[in-house]
Amino acid sequence: MTVEFISVGTEILLGNIVNTNAAYLSERCAALGLSCYHQSVVGDNEERLMETVRLGLSRSDILILSGGLGPTKDDLTKEVTAKVFGRELYEDEHTKERIKEYFRRVRSGQVTPNNWKQAMVPEGAKVIDNHNGTAPGLIIEADGKTAILLPGPPNELMPMFERDIAPYLNQLEPEGIYSKMVKICGIGESKAETMIADLMDAQTNPTIAPYAKTGEVHLRVTAKAADEEKAKELLSPVVDELYQRFGDKIYTTEEDVTLEASIVELLDGQGMTVTTAESCTGGLLAGRIMNVPGASGVYREGYITYANDAKERLLGVKRETLMEHGAVSCQTACEMARGAAKAAGADAAVSVTGIAGPGGGTEEKPVGLVYVGCNVKGHVRVEEFHFTGNRDKNREYTVARALTLLREELLKNCKDLQNGDQP
């Protein structure tokens, strides 16, 4: 079956917001085994919206429209789609109650009269409750075609899709689509693809689709099966095979676990704390770790030490080291990682020192040269990187590589412990 997305909103046409909904829906529908050949954006204009809906229905089985379900007169998606399907609108009592309740709970106030417009739904449409806003989702079916209307705000659209739309799409075909996400760090995209080229060439069911993220590769393994049990039978051997090939580089097989969350879990499991000492990344590495709710259990303090003086005073980096080898050097990264752990009384420390650019590079130490140090219980490892992006990209990649290094060293520490070595 084919799916097509229509994003409705003048604010997207004006470039006021980036269309992240389309990227999200694309990835999720691909994972559900639906083929998407077209996406479009159209403003809040009756005639153009109607044309676009008609064109979409003429060439795709399922149309997902997002946006334009708000309470104002500008919001036309529901009205126009109902017209195309030849349906009248009526006031849905259940939705009216839900909106009333929503206002009571969240806005602690009176419903504004134009919000009742959102309780109007097309005849025969399935009404999907919105747990994060007022506009309900709607599913309209006719003649083998389906239109799904979703609210535009991502924090309403995404939970609604996960909770109600994905299961609905999954039951449209006799065989459901089930997938497992295998997330890998520390291996580049092309190398990862080479390592599974034979699997990808031979694949029919399940299939493997690689997604490149900064410093990570995500492999989505997707199976068609009659039920979840059968899907598991198909997926498990492929996931096992991927573990055979990538081993420890796989940090999770859970959809919603990030690299930093997997690290916080590792630390937590070993009862360890971590600190950071950053130069060119200036707080971004700490910021990634602190993204994780509850990270405060394993991360208590960190240092941003751009100036040499700060590296000496806060981290105890030796002046001779800075004089002899420079601030951007393997030696300095090493002493930063040692000093940070000591200063914070932490079990582990990650240090970053480098030249993010655009200025500050020399022949000997060009822009993009970065050293990352990792200290786990006194064992320090330093890696040298040569990035080729702009300032932003270099810092982003540095953070990803620093997290990857920390994870590797924490895993080593785990194994040493299991082997009975002294930590």
Q: Which residues bind a second copy (CB under 8 A)?
A: 12-20, 22-30, 36-43, 45, 48, 52, 55, 155, 209, 211-212, 276, 278, 280-287, 289-291, 293-296, 299-307, 309-310, 314, 344, 357-359, 390-392
CA-CA distance, 100 to 121, in Å (whole number)? 16
Identify the three-state secondary structure at position 148. strand
Q: Give the Cβ contact number of residue 129 at 10 Å.
A: 13
CA-CA distance, 6 to 187, in Å (whole number)? 36
- Nearer to a second copy by Cβ, of 32 and 119: the residue is 32
Q: How far is the CB of 127 from a second copy (least distance, A)?
A: 26
Q: How far is the CB of 378 from a second copy (least distance, A)?
A: 21
- Nearer to a second copy by Cβ, of 239 and 298: the residue is 298
- Nearer to a second copy by Cβ, of 359 and 420: the residue is 359
CB 244 within 8 A of CB 359: no
Q: How far is the CB of 315 from a second copy (least distance, A)?
A: 10
CA-CA distance, 173 to 177, in Å (whole number)? 9
Q: How far is the CB of 336 from a second copy (least distance, A)?
A: 12
- Nearer to a second copy by Cβ, of 167 and 358: the residue is 358
- Chain centroid to CA 184: 14
- Nearer to a second copy by Cβ, of 125 and 405: the residue is 405
- Nearer to a second copy by Cβ, of 124 and 188: the residue is 188
Q: How far is the CB of 47 from a second copy (least distance, A)?
A: 10
Q: How far is the CB of 40 from a second copy (least distance, A)?
A: 4
> Which of left, alpha, beta for 143 (phi over 0: left; psi -120 to 50: alpha)?
left
- Nearer to a second copy by Cβ, of 18 and 202: the residue is 18
Q: How far is the CB of 419 from a second copy (least distance, A)?
A: 32
- Nearer to a second copy by Cβ, of 84 and 119: the residue is 84
Q: How far is CA 306 from CA 186, 278, 356, in A?
A: 27, 7, 12
Name the H helices within 146-269.
154-160, 166-170, 189-195, 197-202, 228-246, 259-269
Q: φ, ψ for residue 349 (rounded to 5)?
A: -150, 140
236 contacts: CB under 8 Å, gap ≥ 6: none
The DSSP code sequence of 70-100 is: SSSTT--HHHHHHHHTT--EEE-HHHHHHHH
Q: How far is the CB of 351 from a second copy (least distance, A)?
A: 14
